[in-house]
Structure 1
């Protein structure tokens, strides 16, 4: 999948309001799909599984104040660093090299949504 941003064009910064707070992401153009998508990276879906929460069921994340920056990748869970970086390099855009960090605090979601067209499109998402 090739994703590009036209040179010299300011990227849109979409915001989304969740029950935990507001997050600001960015938009990319997916050339193969001929459409743009909103990208929100590193949104927590649970509290950090460290200290007394280690090996326990995930707990809901704490709400945040202000607007959360959702434009950079969160840490990946502990694993072989060389293999993890190789997989990241293969699946991400060649222009978007991301040096991955590892942490036990890795319960985050990267969310990609179509940019709204104003139509009531049915999307392949289930509750």
Structure 2
């Protein structure tokens, strides 16, 4: 029994390390100034959930939550760079792995996520019921 648990633990750690380095390879992390330089010429995607997006997002960003990305991938073009962000950088890594698997190449993320963004933001005023 101990060996089974140890094997599972080693496999999990190995897989986590593999994913970490794979994400580093396919997803370019940009400082806020680098992100600002390029995002107007790219597809700017907020991968946070709708409520987070409505509370405040980078001006010009489209909301495609990570939870909907697989179904909405056809909204993204493969011939243009994709600049994305989430709250702190975790979900963009998962989004990048998904997009890369489907043939998207130029994938970029905002270092530190929306939490670190100091530029213009827009809030969506939706009626609460």
Same fold? TM cut 0.5: no
Higher relative contact order (CA 8 A, sep 6+): 2
Name the TM-score class by shorter chain.
Answer: under 0.3
TM-score by length of 2: 0.23
